[in-house]
Structure 1
Amino acid sequence: MARILVVEDEPALREFLRRALTKRGDNVAIAGHGGEAMLKLRDGRYDLMLTDIAMPEMDGIELALKAAQDFPAVRLLLMTGYTDEKRRAEALEHLVNKVLMKPFSMTELFAAIDAAMDKPMAEAAPGQGARSA
């Protein structure tokens, strides 16, 4: 399955997502904030990053912008419980595969991951290709 980086500042939700995705068969790493996520992206290869939007240090939108620039092959899914943040994130539709509204079901999450992973890299987000050295 996919190599996924989950970025969520709430420990219980972060661990729940890690366990659910691991049980599904995905290879999952976790990070508690955007700075930690950028370090993990630099140290590993991921197919997809699932990140919360509302986080300390670096919000998920800033993280998505940096990840898209530095790691263009990584597909991006955002999650939020706030309508205003969802609207902000929708402006990134050219970079982000989907914005999930919390609470979401595992069926919704798995479908969003599968849809993102099923797209050829050229369609995952425009301009994405192999990571530059």
Structure 2
Amino acid sequence: MMNKILLAEDDNDMRRFLVRALQNAGHEVMSYDNGLSAYHRLREEPFELLLTDIVMPEMDGIELARRATELDPDIKVMFITGFAAVALNPDSQAPRDAKVLSKPFHLKDLVNEVDKLLKAA
């Protein structure tokens, strides 16, 4: 059974790399270049994982994650960011059990972390 991942990343090259890596690892991936579009998609159907950049136009990743977990308390969240300290700031209201992967990272590390997160019940 394929896990459905929603990816929000405003960097086009990065988004393409991530989609390819995750699809090659057997995941179904829908990707958007901003938080608002991703949020609209989340309202239409459930996803197992939200993989989101933090700094994006229209709606940042933390706001997107907050709204995603309001829609579906079971959705898992992983932030990919060059600004890990921002995500981990307790005032950010980011979901508490969200995972943070700091850029730059290797695609295999990303895939491993995603697989680990999806296996954790």
TM-score range, shorter chain: 0.7 to 0.9
Relative to structure 1, is the Cα distance of residues 109 and 6 closer, same or farther in structure 2, using a 3 angstrom cutoff?
Answer: same
Cα offsets for 1:74-109 (capped at 9, x unmatched):
11000111244243378646241x100001112221
Relative to structure 1, is the Cα distance of residues 45 and 99 closer, same or farther in structure 2, using a 3 angstrom cutoff?
Answer: same
2:19 match: 18
Please give the root-mean-square deviation of Cα atoms over the aligned residues, in Å.
1.8
Cα offsets for 1:53-73 (capped at 9, x unmatched):
000111111111111111222
TM-score, normalisation: structure 2: 0.88
Equivalent residue letter for 2:18? L
1:126 match: none
TM-score, normalisation: structure 1: 0.81
The total of aligned residue pairs comes to 119
1:52 match: 53
The DSSP-based 3-state class of the residue aligned with 1:68 is helix
Q: Distance in 2 between matches of 1:27 and 1:20?
A: 11
* Percentage identity across paired residues of the two chains: 37
Q: Distance in 2 between matches of 1:104 and 1:83?
A: 12
Relative to structure 1, is the Cα distance of residues 21 and 31 closer, same or farther in structure 2, using a 3 angstrom cutoff?
Answer: same
2:88 match: 87
Relative to structure 1, is the Cα distance of residues 94 and 8 closer, same or farther in structure 2, using a 3 angstrom cutoff?
Answer: same
After TM superposition, give the deviation of residue 42 of structure 1 in Å: 1.4
Give 4+ residue runs of structure 1 displaced > 4 Å after superposition: none
1:113 match: 114
Unaligned runs of 5+ in 2: none
1:124 match: none
Unaligned runs of 5+ in 1: 121-133
Q: Distance in 2 between matches of 1:75 and 1:83?
A: 18
